[in-house]
A and B are shown apart, each in its own frame.
Chain A
Amino acid sequence: MDFSFGDDQVMLRNAVRALLAHECPPEVVRAAWESDTGRTDGLWAALAEMGVVGMTAPTSVGGLGMDETDLVLLLEEAGRAALPEPLLEHTAVGIPTLAEAGGPVADAWLERAAAGEATLGAGPADGYAVGAAACDLVLLIGDQVGAVPVDGATLVEHRSIDGSRRLFEVGGDAVVLDADPALAFDRAAAAAAAQCAGVAQHLLEATVEYAAQRFQFGKPVGSYQAVKHHLADAALKIEFARPAAHHAAWCIAVGDSDRSRDVSLAKALASEAVDLAARTALQCHGAIGYTYEHDLHLWMKRGWALSAAWGDAAWHRNRIAAALGI
């Protein structure tokens, strides 16, 4: 029983954190909101250069052969930076699912996906695929996993409250992959849980910083217990969501028999954590946090979106009930 991450995992996390701190400041996220695709100019290429984009692909196709326990810290970082790039869809879901399926679709796409030359999207079959128009191949996950090449697909776009998330209904001829749809879904839900934890952590840290420097009645507002206890409650939710998210990643990596139940535990806890963090962050910022100019909303809206994506807390709580036989 060892929850600690290895030196290599921590070094990679630190490298990604440093990259995003420099290359993904709030101005870049804002620019992505205004761009054609919802994405950034160069961040995906920079992550591909580091090997992150294809890290979950087998080494035989040019990947790093890494698993969910290697990826989970990077997903948290993506959340912390509100990274508007498809790390979840492409790296956490698309590549491992294609690798699992094998066959002609994998032969056609996997190597290019591992190199970052082709981008994989993913979405629930009855939901939206984020950023599909900027992808090359989209996996639709329902009772089975269908692969739809974007070239020739019909795409119906909807706006998300998070301007970097372009929502698409995807139609077209899907090739059914020989991959477990429940596993593909769990990969997405577990990755969303890790991102939620990262978003929540940023919201908390930004609000602590603000509350320490905003003075009212001659004192920092963060010195008042009403504010402190709001923030302590948000911190509490995050403290208990993160280990569950790490455990969920491990369950996927090793094929644990309670995988689906414990992925649901992680996603429900993480959704609840980011919901509370977003609510608390706004309340503790007061009116300035309610403005479009302030950066807070970039994370708050990402939090709302990810909280609901791939099963919201209620959905996952119901799935836990079913797993418990009640």
Chain B
Amino acid sequence: MKINHHPDDATILAYAAGAVTEGFSLVLAAHMELCPHCRNRMAEANAVGGELLSELRPVAMSAGGLDNIWSRIEQEPEVAVTQPAVPAAVDGVPGVLTPYLPEGLGSLPWRSLIPGIRQYVLGGVESGRGSVRMLSIAPGTTIPHHTHMGGELTLVIKGAYEDETGRYGSGDLADLDDTVGHQPVVGRDEPCICLIATDDRLRFSGIFSRMLQPLVGI
């Protein structure tokens, strides 16, 4: 898989700082599972976080701080803390998404949004005023031109689309902020399935599209 589009440095930094929504972290983790380049960038951003933590002006701990820690360690049973392993990718779907798509892509309960576009909203993922959803877009479909109030991260899982900023295929991540408007067009050969997180509402630009907004609920 040749990945050509990656998250911005500013987005990686916000992710490392923990200043993104859970929804954004899910899309970024899914991309990084597929992208060694961005795993390295994340490791660097975390290292910057560690260095900056070391530079912080220390604030003295309370007098009994260390004793409290020892008694917490002794009182609470020593459970082996294991980090849950991320399941392996199945059928091109990053493993980090598996808990949200237990039956795989094939049997997702898609809901038709507008002709040519079906969606599945991932529930229980903190997203500010936005959302995380899978979209399945029929070949040749054009998504109405829109901008975003906040940010939008789109990870292509299958198929491809093109917009003003280039062609996005499997594994590519489009990182858009509120300064960018776009009108994605899906390739003619196959449907495009992508994972999209927003942290605020979208803003459609045409009158017809704006009328659609309450209906599609994006």
State yes or no: do A and B come from one complex. no
